[in-house]
Amino acid sequence: MLEVYADPCTVNCRKVLAGLDLLGADFKDNFVSYFAGEHKSEKCLKVNPCGTLPFATDGDTTITESNAIMMYAADLGSENSAYPKDIKKRAEIHRWLLWEASRWFHSSYVFLLENVVKKSQGAQPDQKNLDDETPKWKELAKILDDQLAKNKFLCGNEVTIADIAVAAPMHICEAQRLPVDEFPNLKRWFFEDIRSLPCWKKTQGPLDKLLGKSN
C-alpha cells in the first residue's frame, strides 16, 4: 500500500492529502509534525534524504515532490477523470502542475511567509518584500483568471489534480492577504468551486486549528 507522510497544515501536504482523496486513492496517512521538525529526524531522513514533506513510499520506492506523489497515486489506480490517461488531457494537467511548482508556489509563498509565518513568530512582515512580489503575483493571477474565464476548472469543466495543485499555495488566502478581488474568475473558482469540494473540506480542520478558528 502507498504510505504517505505528511502534516496537513503545510501547503504541499494539504495538496497531496486532498489530491489523493479526490482520486479515491488507497493509501495510509502517517502524520509527521512539520512544526516539531519530525521530517528532519534520523528516521525520516533515512527514507527521504531531502528532509522535505510530504513524501511517500510504495514498498522500496520513495516518492518525493507533492505533484509527483499525486501522479504516482493516480497511476496505481484505474481511469480517473481527475487525472485521465488520455495523453493530451494529461499534457494540459502537466502544464499546470509544472507551472504551479516553478512559479505560482513561490510567488504565493511570499505572502504566506510575510503575513502568516512571521506573524505566528511574533515578527512583522517585510512590506518591501510584499510590494516587490505583488505585481509578479498579479501577473500570474491574471493567467489563471483568463484560463478560468473559459472553463469552470483549469482543464475543463471537471476538477483535476491540477486544480488541487494550483489552489494549495493560496489555501489560506485571507490570512495571506492575497489580492484576489481583482480577479473575479480566480476568486469564483477558489471560493465557490474549490472550497466546496469534499476533499478540500476534509483537510480544512488542521488549518482552522492553526489559525485559531472554530470548525
* 170: helix, strand or coil: helix
CA–CA gap between residue 175 and residue 162 (Å, rounded): 23
Helix axes 105-112, 127-148, angle to 10 degrees: 140
Cα of first residue to Cα of last residue in the chain, in angstroms, is 31
pLDDT at 156: 96
Classify residue 160 as exposed, middle or buried by CB count within 10 Å of its CB (0-12, 13-18, 19+).
Answer: buried
Using the predicted structure, report yes or no on whether residue 213 has a pLDDT greater than 60. Answer: no
> Per DSSP, what are the bridge partners of residue 30?
5
pLDDT at 25: 96
Using the predicted structure, report yes or no on whether residue 214 has a pLDDT greater than 80. Answer: no
Task: Work out the average pLDDT over 44-71.
Answer: 96
Query: Cis peptide before 54, with omega less than 30 degrees from 0?
Result: yes
pLDDT band at residue 205 using 50, 70 and 90 as cut-offs: confident
Encode pLDDT of 18-36 as tens digits: 999 999 999 999 999 998 9
Q: Which cell numbers in the block locate residue 28?
A: 495510509
Encode pLDDT of 60-96 as tens digits: 999 999 999 999 999 998 889 999 999 999 999 999 9
Using the predicted structure, report yes or no on whether residue 211 has a pLDDT greater than 80. Answer: no
Encode pLDDT of 140-174 as tens digits: 999 999 999 999 999 999 999 999 999 999 999 99
Using the predicted structure, report yes or no on whether residue 209 has a pLDDT greater than 90. Answer: no
CA–CA gap between residue 213 and residue 215 (Å, rounded): 7
Beta carbons within 10 angstroms of residue 181's beta carbon = 8
